Amino acid sequence: MNARLDHTPAGVFRCALGVSYNGSSYQGWQSQASGLTVQDKLEKALALFTDLPSVTTLCAGRTDAGVHGLMQVVHFDVPLQRETMAWMRGTNRYLPDDIAVQWARDVPTSFHARGSAQSRRYAYVLLESPVRPSVDAGKVGWVFRPMQLEPMQKAAQTLLGEHDFSSFRASQCQAHSPIKHLLRAEVSRRGAYWRFEFEASAFLHHMIRNIMGCLIAIGTGQRPTGWMAEVLEARSRDAAAPTFSPDGLYFLGPTYDAAFGLPDRTPGFDWLP
């Protein structure tokens, strides 16, 4: 890492990493006793590289089992220095092939991967086909019925702004409040693939997957466009569609104040259909 920043306590160095991963083989991000999470694999790799007993990371946003990450951001404190390129190459040496550190940066102790995030971005990639996915199995969601673009676009716009999103909240959600501010909700299509993109101050547990269930019901004509507003207003999980598959969900990453000097996106951000 580069020379210690003046506002970092002597002997303590804070580093931020941008991490990408295929979540298909993992039980989500957050560490579990099984050790089969992305956080577990990353922290084990960091400990091996630094030769420390343990390294504890804090992330920008936890992802569920099967959900992928293109730019998960974490920070950690360690009592040693490394060049930023060394953090990338050294940590990747001990990571499995489906997890990779994309970048590393020195950050002040005032930086917090979760607390400093101004917004978070997700994309859901969906295959519309009478035949299930094969080559991209686990990397896209799937719907076999034809869908219409305009009804889904109109329904998505209903959700913009600050609302109580209780209708889209999992029962095990630990968020203090169901009120979130949805900044962007876009729907587009390229060939047989649909891309849904969302940006918000923060998201509730399963919020996007529950919204996806409703959008697909509308897009396939099973529900009218106005149903989305009714679901939102109901503030009840019972009013919404079933939770949709995690396969096509990607955490695109958080946004931060430019003063921190962190990348806005990471390699692979735009490869999705």
Active site residues: 64
Give the 3-state secondary structure percentages of the chain, helix then strand then coil, rounded to 5: 25, 30, 50
| 45 SS3 class | helix
Instruction: Classify residue 191 as left (phi > 0), alpha (psi -120 to 50) or beta.
Output: left
Strands annotated E in the chain:
13-21, 58-59, 68-78, 99-106, 119-128, 141-143, 161-164, 179-190, 193-200, 249-255
Question: Any idea what DSSP says for residue 226?
Answer: T
- β pairing state of 119-128 and 58-59: unpaired
Query: ∠ at Cα 269 (264, 270), nearest 5°?
Result: 125
Q: Which residue has the tokens 């931020």?
A: 16
Tokens of 139: 């990397």
